[in-house]
Structure 1
Amino acid sequence: MELDVVAWVHIREKRLLTVRARGRDLLYLPGGKVEPGESPAEAIAREVGEELGLGLPPGDFTPLGTVVTEPHDQPRYTSVRMVCFTAPYEGGLHPSAEIDELLLVSPSERRLLAPASAAALDLALDRGLLEAEA
């Protein structure tokens, strides 16, 4: 069974914004599951609002791409399909809901990421949003 999720890919200071959800060992991107009746853009706007307290309208999100990989800490699922979006944002970010902390991760810290988040980091590198470190 495939887990369908959406994620916000946000680059700041040449690093990828990640979150540590309560009780998780690896880092994830802000985002989550699409609720029934929601579009992916509506879902990512809702999830980013819940997790980071941001009010980004669905129209601000631009599709970046989709990654499919193995799940992490989700034994009911055989794979994760994550649709990634970008959206501009400036200002302070604050963890809320089930998020314990925010971290900016460089490409050399890929090992800290859950598999789908690592695949999204690779997508950001491929699309030129991040640069590989020498």
Structure 2
Amino acid sequence: MRRNPFDNIEEMLDRVSRQVEEGMTAGGLQVPGSVPVDVADTDEQYVVTADLPGYETDDIELTLSDGTLRLEANRTDEEEYPEGRYLRRERTETSASRRIRLPEPVDEESVDAGFENGVLTVRLPKVSSGEDSRRIDIE
């Protein structure tokens, strides 16, 4: 029996697809221009820590929508070098971004963030499911 020559290609595509899915569920794939992050899950909250060296607080925009935390950082260096001329200039504009899908709902009103020494820390308290539950009577 002859094998279909496309079987090997399909097997390879399936393998790559599984690897991408596994990488995404393990916290995401590191993509050039993306921000490296750690996401910790305590019982009460998620703590997202991101390295953003060289950025200022005003350069960073954080948004939370539909269970996804979006982080964008943009920096423009418009200052000229006062003591001479540039031979090479690659640091004029820098941007980085990252999206983090949270596995459980969070209390959006209680989210807080801090930025110190180039490290952004975002605390996202989980929605407490115990307080919102109620007993259901069976008739």
TM-score for both structures, normalised by structure 2: 0.26
Q: Which has the higher contact order (CA 8 A, sep 6+)?
A: 1
Q: Which has the larger radius of gyration?
A: 2
TM-score for both structures, normalised by structure 1: 0.26
